Structure 1
Amino acid sequence: MPTLFSRLIGMLLVTISLASVAQNPEPQKSILITGATTGIGRNLAESLAKEGHHVYAGARTDAEMAELNTIDNITALRLDVTKQDQVDEAVQYIQERGTGLYALVNNAGIYDGGAVLDTELDVLNLVYQVNVEGVLRTTKAFAPLVIESRGRIATTGSIAGTVSGPGFAAYSGSKHYIEAFTDSLAAELEPLGVSVSVIEPGNYQTHIRRSAVKRSMARVVGGGGIVTSDMEKQYKAMEEVELSYKKPNEVTLAYKHALFADAPLRRYVVVPNAEEQQLTIETKIRELVQLNSWGPHSYDNQELVEKLKSALGL
């Protein structure tokens, strides 16, 4: 049996060990989120900060930055992803703070467009400037910091990157790019120890639709027109639709898995109901069949089924 002295020594060693852990905790990880003022970005930023992570939250106005800076563990950055000077200044700021950067979350994005034949090029260009060029710009700028941390890069895509339809060509096209971007970047950064994921939400509560209506109104005014009562009713109706959706807590959970799990996934489809999940997966299945419908090297039906079973590990 251990003597009283040996037990006391053991207790003392445990106390010293616990004190050492308390004095030398694991360094706080810093995560940058673009488009962190509303919707998915804001939900994720607040959740991560509440759990003790340090969040660099991208915002575009003084008011937005001031609001974000009132939240513990959040440091607001002026970061319009379409402006290279702001991106460069944000990189320099993080370098000067000396916190490093564990993860980059490319969340900033917009919806705009309409029917293909009615969409003006300046509208299409705006969508791509934010959703495509903005993602590439921020990733290129912050990747060296993430590579140094052997961290994570995750981007907000959409089920619209798979599913499209009338009025969605511009937005869906930009989210199709995110699919290709993710696969290429993941292959390029895997040897450097960086995991890359895309989070593909369905319809959750954000401001993206209301913002699109506001931009449409601004274009009317910019062209010398006036905002009609019908336009105001359209905005009100869109606001009611967006507020009827679930808050994006489930999207935040998917992001946390992508950022911290030992084995993060490449893709996370996150939808509020079975119908959106089924629509997304069934669209992919139809595309698979369409891809296999032409040419002398197509699989026959049984071979195609076997390929699917193999992919499922069956």
Structure 2
Amino acid sequence: MSWAVVYGLQAGMVGVGLLALYFALSIPTLLCLATLGMLYYGYTKARRKAAGTLPLDDKTVLITGCDTGIGHALAKYLHERGCHVIATVFRPEGQGATALRDVKSERMTVLPLDVSSDDSVAECLRHVKGICANSGLWGVVNNAGHNFVGDVELTTMRQYLLVANINIYGMVKTTRAFLPLLRQTRGRIVNVTSIKGQISRPLNAAYNITKYGGETFSEITRMEMRQFGVKVSIIEPGHFGGVTGCINKDGIARIRREFDEMWAEASDEVKEVFSRDHFDKIMSEIEADAGRSHPTLTPVVKAISDALFSGDPDYRYIVDGSNQLLDKDPMLVRVKPFLSDRLFDALVSYFYL
């Protein structure tokens, strides 16, 4: 069969589809759809209002990854609203940990935690049990993560494993360790994944693998914990990279070091395909993208707070970022169910290749 026939059939499918849409969208149909949309909006607002908000002042919440970014901002936000915060940090003597200790409050506890280390998780659990002996542990926010950029072929296996040990297995270790305490309070687990947990992008294989894994792990944990009254929510931030450690000044410097490691370990055959300029081009795009980030972390922090303290939290919070009219990744996730795989891949390629 010739390609002319294939293209002709393709055009025919598009044409018939457009005709079907034209005839289906009559005025009564549009009115019904608009009414349905308004009813659903009213229903969700009424449901959330009826569920109310739980008090914060008698709750203790543990947050991972509070050195910088979302974790650091969330620790301060919850503390200011009366919550007892256990802020865990990877660098106990770093600037982020010091700033949190400088709050000098009985409701702010700073503990070291390397989520990729079994011993570190066990030691943190021991401290938390002592802190929560009377109040119990209400929530765990799995926020610790490692952003990563790199081609499938250039990313080293050490880098793949490093990202996975933090982003997905760190989440698993922390959740498993603290579940007994959360069952006692019928509390909350909030897992910060990424909008990239629903959309695959070039140069993000090592990172996206872990974020898709975080989505699946969260959904299964939610179903298994329902019988114990423990609720699990997923937070999917869009483009906030410029105000986190992902692609700020320090993040960009780290990415450069990771690119140097990739190039040093690349085989001669791979170096013939990817020139050293390939990394420079990616860095230019990352630096430009940093300027398109949302200017604050407030939308993400508020979404996490809602997941922790709403009487009826959502299963999934897509949090639009970017300082542009549209945040591309959340937009793509929302249209994906209505597009074929080929068309969706073409759309992603248009934006990112």
Tell me if TM exceeds 0.5.
yes
Q: Which residue of 1 aligns with 2:338?
A: 285
Q: Secondary structure at the match of 2:239?
A: coil
Contact kept, 8 Å, 1:147 with 1:194, in 2: the verdict is: yes
Q: Which residue of 2 aligns with 1:142?
A: 178
Contact kept, 8 Å, 1:162 with 1:284, in 2: the verdict is: no
Against the structure 1 CA distance between its residues 149 and 239, is the aligned structure 2 distance closer, same or farther, given a 3 Å change threshold? farther
What is the correspondence of 1:115-154 to structure 2 with a 5 Å cutoff?
A: 115-154=151-190
1:178 to 205, 211, 214: 214
Letter in 2 for 1:38: T
Against the structure 1 CA distance between its residues 285 and 109, is the aligned structure 2 distance closer, same or farther, given a 3 Å change threshold? farther
Contact kept, 8 Å, 1:113 with 1:123, in 2: the verdict is: no
The superposition leaves residues 40-83 of structure 1 with CA deviations (integer Å, 9 ceiling, x where unpaired) of 11111111000010110011222343321112332101011011
Q: Which residue of 2 aligns with 1:202?
A: 238
Q: Secondary structure at the match of 2:168?
A: helix
2:251 to 205, 211, 218: 211
Bigger shift: residues 213-222 or 137-146: 213-222
Greater RCO between the two (CA within 8 Å, min separation 6)? 2
For structure 2, list consecutive stretches of 5 or more residues without a partner in the other structure: 1-54, 266-278, 343-353
1:46 to 72, 76, 91: 76
Work out the CA distance in 2 between the residues paired with 1:261 and 1:115. Answer: 40
How high is the TM-score relative to the length of structure 2?
0.67
2:119 to 85, 109, 118: 85
Letter in 2 for 1:217: R
Q: Secondary structure at the match of 1:190?
A: helix
Letter in 2 for 1:264: P
Q: Secondary structure at the match of 2:233?
A: strand
Q: Which residue of 2 aligns with 1:274?
A: 326
Work out the CA distance in 2 between the residues paired with 1:148 and 1:179. Answer: 24
Q: Which residue of 2 aligns with 1:59?
A: 89
Q: Which residue of 2 aligns with 1:70?
A: 102
The superposition leaves residues 258-303 of structure 1 with CA deviations (integer Å, 9 ceiling, x where unpaired) of 11111111100001253433222112433xx559xxxxxxxxxxxx
Letter in 2 for 1:54: H
Work out the CA distance in 2 between the residues paired with 1:282 and 1:197. Answer: 22
How high is the TM-score relative to the length of structure 1?
0.75
Work out the CA distance in 2 between the residues paired with 1:215 and 1:79. Answer: 23
Q: Number of residue pairs matched?
A: 261
1:109 to 112, 122, 145: 145
Contact kept, 8 Å, 2:65 with 2:88, in 1: the verdict is: yes
Q: Secondary structure at the match of 1:196?
A: strand
Work out the CA distance in 1 between the residues paired with 2:288 and 2:70. Answer: 16
What is the correspondence of 1:21-40 to structure 2 with a 5 Å cutoff?
A: 28-40=58-70
Letter in 1 for 2:201: G
Q: Secondary structure at the match of 1:182?
A: helix
Work out the CA distance in 2 between the residues paired with 1:89 and 1:77. Answer: 10
Q: Which residue of 2 aligns with 1:238?
A: 287
Against the structure 1 CA distance between its residues 26 and 51, is the aligned structure 2 distance closer, same or farther, given a 3 Å change threshold? closer
Q: Which residue of 1 aligns with 2:305?
A: 256
Contact kept, 8 Å, 2:61 with 2:139, in 1: the verdict is: yes
Once the two structures are TM-superposed, the CA of residue 245 in structure 1 deviates from its matched residue by 3.0
Contact kept, 8 Å, 1:197 with 1:265, in 2: the verdict is: yes
Contact kept, 8 Å, 2:85 with 2:108, in 1: the verdict is: yes
Let me know the Cα RMSD of the aligned residues.
3.0
Q: Secondary structure at the match of 2:179?
A: helix
Q: Secondary structure at the match of 1:274?
A: coil
Against the structure 1 CA distance between its residues 107 and 284, is the aligned structure 2 distance closer, same or farther, given a 3 Å change threshold? farther
Once the two structures are TM-superposed, the CA of residue 238 in structure 1 deviates from its matched residue by 3.5
Once the two structures are TM-superposed, the CA of residue 219 in structure 1 deviates from its matched residue by 7.3
Question: % of aligned pairs identical?
Answer: 32
The superposition leaves residues 78-112 of structure 1 with CA deviations (integer Å, 9 ceiling, x where unpaired) of 01101111111111111112242100000000111
Letter in 2 for 1:41: G
Against the structure 1 CA distance between its residues 178 and 218, is the aligned structure 2 distance closer, same or farther, given a 3 Å change threshold? closer
